[in-house]
Amino acid sequence: DTGVSQDPRHKITKRGQNVTFRCDPISEHNRLYWYRQTLGQGPEFLTYFQNEAQLEKSRLLSDRFSAERPKGSFSTLEIQRTEQGDSAMYLCASSFLQANYGYTFGSGTRLTVV
Amino acid sequence: DQQVKQNSPSLSVQEGRISILNCDYTNSMFDYFLWYKKYPAEGPTFLISISSIKDKNEDGRFTVFLNKSAKHLSLHIVPSQPGDSAVYFCAAPGGAGNMLTFGGGTRLMVKP
């Protein structure tokens, strides 16, 4: 297992378009988190899954954002009708429930909305 | 409200000297803290952690100190190396799913 994979690494899109990102966690990890990081800031929590259940969503996750984790494996994060303010690095992390605090992050998807 | 703060956005240190990165927190419920290192275009990688039952944890060149009464922790890197140049984040798990709350980061530049 090579860690947490995110795809694509970079995405440039026009305002108003929809985009989807994918995260493949470490296979035995049952928790998966999405974070957003803007320039000069630390990562901010967006949402998390335990297996296939989405258990918490941040107020940052507007109704234009949706995340799924079918079958408790990979996850997707979709942003509809993108806005320039959505430009950020989107980070995925996974962890094993019984190993508290053992988070592993992916390399992130850099989104630029033009 | 920023529950975890890193008040120094950047720090420049000469190679071989000590780097001290600081972090303050406001939530007294936090009982575990982690430091992450982040290179450009990469995700954060775990560096070192400390439980609130300790006041110090050491791993090679990296030592983290925790002062619970002051709600303050610091990361010491001795000796600093040019490869340590990166952004460092302190973080605390808590709340739903033990999500991490991050500070804003400190960019460390180690000059040869």
**pLDDT digits over A32-65, tens only?**
999 999 988 999 999 999 999 999 999 888 999 9
- Contact (CB, 8 A) for B102 and B91: yes
Inter-residue contact B86 to B77 (CB < 8 Å): no
For residue A100, what pLDDT is reported? Answer: 62
Summarised one tens digit per residue, pLDDT across range A58-114 is 988 899 999 999 988 999 999 999 999 999 999 999 998 755 677 899 999 999 999
Distance from C-alpha of A35 to C-alpha of B101, rounded to nearest angstrom: 10
Chain segment B25-60, per-residue pLDDT in tens: 999 999 999 999 999 888 999 999 999 999 999 999
Q: How many angstroms separate the CA atoms of A15 and A82, rounded? A: 5
Q: Tell me the sheet residues that pair with B14.
A: B111
pLDDT at B5: 96
pLDDT at B10 over 60: yes
- Whether cis (ω within 30° of 0) applies to the bond prior to A8 is yes
Contact A33 B97 (CB under 8 A): yes
CA distance B66 to B34: 11
Q: What is the mean pLDDT of chain A?
A: 92
Rounded to the nearest angstrom, the minimum Cα separation between B44 and chain A is 6
Disruptive mutation site among A103, A109, A110 for chain B (greatest number of B CBs within 10 Å): A103
φ and ψ of A33, to 5 deg: -125, 145
Q: In A, what residues contact B, Cβ < 8 A? A: 4, 6, 9, 31, 33, 35, 40-45, 48, 50, 55-56, 91, 93, 95, 100-101, 103-108, 110
CA angle A48, B29, A60 (to 5 degrees): 35
Q: Is A79 exposed, middle or buried (0-12, 13-18, 19+ CB in 10 A)?
A: buried
Please say if the pLDDT value at position A2 is more than 80. Answer: no
Average pLDDT of B5-29? 96
Contact list in A for residue B91 (CB cut-off 8 A) is: 42
Q: What is the pLDDT of residues B60-69, one digit of tens each?
A: 999 999 999 9
Instruction: Please state whether beta strands A19-24 and A75-79 pair in parallel, antiparallel, or not at all (unpaired).
Output: antiparallel
- For the cut 90, the answer to whether the pLDDT of residue A10 exceeds it is yes
